[in-house]
Homo-oligomer: A and B are copies of this chain.
Amino acid sequence: MAAAARPLNPAERLDWLRLIRSENVGPVTFYQLLQHYGSAAAALEALPEAARRGGRGRSLRICSRAEAERELVTLDKVGAHLLAWGEPDYPQALAAVEDAPPLISVKGRVEVLRRRAVAVVGARNASTNGKRLARDIAADLGQRGLVVVSGLARGIDAAAHQGALATGTVAVIAGGIDVIYPEENRALHEAIADQGVLVAELPVGTVPQARHFPRRNRIISGISLGVLVVEAALRSGSLITARFALEQGREVFAIPGSPLDPRCRGTNDLIRRGATLAEGAEDVISALEGPLAGRPAAINQPLVTAPITNGNLSEKGLDQATARVLEALGPSPVPVDELVRQCQLSPAIVVTILLDLELAGRLERHAGNQVTLI
């Protein structure tokens, strides 16, 4: 990635914030825009025209300078600040994820984010035994030098944070960094802000909604070398975190349980499908000490390897190329590589066209560099 790997200056930080808060700009698009236009400032400049080229009728909502400045002021007021992708405190393992948030709000002991971490997640309606296991294993992992990451939900998440409070814990929350949810975890939220670190992707003040939780889960697994699931029903949120972990190349661990307990169906199913059975911290540690030990740092690949230009395509040429790409796209995911072959266009041009379509709100990206038309 062209971006960062050094602290941003205040002007750059503001531009990054404006860009990621603008309409139709998700993390993947953000990094591609940065690479395509050279800087967030240049991308902000180019956005309206790109969206128009992509077929956007009404104008794109771009985050204003004033809006972004207000967010920075509020963050400061609540004792939080932003970390940008590639800055020294930005979690190294998370940086290796394709759709890592370009900016995260953080509050607390940010230095914790530099250490090796493992996620411990699970059911909200956990059993007493499940919570006890989560707390004990989190404490053991902490004793062994690992940071424990979780989602500050009721049940397993809360127990995991409690177990690792003294040794280092990261709570990735679905809403804004200052929004306490659920209310019963207020004391824990405050304790983590004090002794551990809180992380949020959405703007300060955002009240979390159902759709925010899965996106949050990719950050939990992204920060972590592995994800341990302690009690989970079938089709539960913890399994989404496990799926993200697999997509991100992280290890998945699950605690087994009796088939008579529905709260163990999800974990047993994970084991059946290849997750590592874990009975305690030792099982997690021994797996992470193996070939995985240095992985996330090593897979820190740029998203696109060559600089992207429009080539020498005229506006008319670009319109014709766009038509060809639109024809090849549909509701089923198509790998971008295949699109390039099929349309007989240069990769640079296809990437440009996809960016324009995405900014126009007509394209959706999927795992494995695949795209669909909306």
Judge if A277 is at the interface, Cβ distance under 8 Å. Answer: yes
Q: Is A237 an interface residue (CB 8 A)?
A: no
B255 touches A133 (CB 8 A): no
A306 at the interface (CB under 8 A from B): no
Bound CA–CA A279/B260 (angstroms):
8
Cβ 8 A contact of A271, one of B129, B133, B264, B277:
B277
**In the complex the two chains form, is A268's CB within 8 Å of B259's CB?**
no
A55 interface residue (CB < 8 Å to B): no
Which residues of B have CB within 8 Å of A259? 133, 255-256, 279-280
Q: How far is the CA of A258 from the CA of B255 in the complex (A)?
A: 7
Expressed in whole angstroms, the Cα–Cα distance for A153 and B257 within the complex equals 25
CB proximity to B under 8 Å, residues A244-291 = 255-260, 264-265, 268, 271-272, 276-277, 279-280, 283
Give chain B residues whose Cβ lies under 8 Å from the Cβ of A277.
256, 268, 271-272
State A132–B277 Cα separation when bound (angstroms): 24
For residues 25 through 50 of chain A, which have their beta carbon under 8 Å from a beta carbon of chain B? none
Whole-angstrom CA separation of A287 from B271 in the bound complex: 16
Q: Which of A206-226 contact B (CB under 8 A)?
A: none
A280 surroundings in chain B (CB, below 8 A): 259
Chain B residues contacting A132 (CB-CB under 8 Å) are 260
Give the docked Cα–Cα distance between A259 and B228 (Å): 14
Q: Please indicate the chain B residues that have their CB under 8 angstroms from the CB of A264 in the complex.
A: 256, 258
A129 touches B260 (CB 8 A): yes
20 contacts between A and B (CB under 8 A): A132-B260, A133-B258, A133-B260, A255-B258, A255-B259, A256-B256, A256-B257, A256-B258, A256-B259, A256-B264, A256-B277, A257-B258, A258-B258, A259-B279, A265-B279, A268-B277, A268-B279, A271-B277, A272-B277, A272-B283
Residue positions of A touching B, CB distance < 8 A: 129, 132-133, 255-260, 264-265, 268, 271-272, 276-277, 279-280, 283
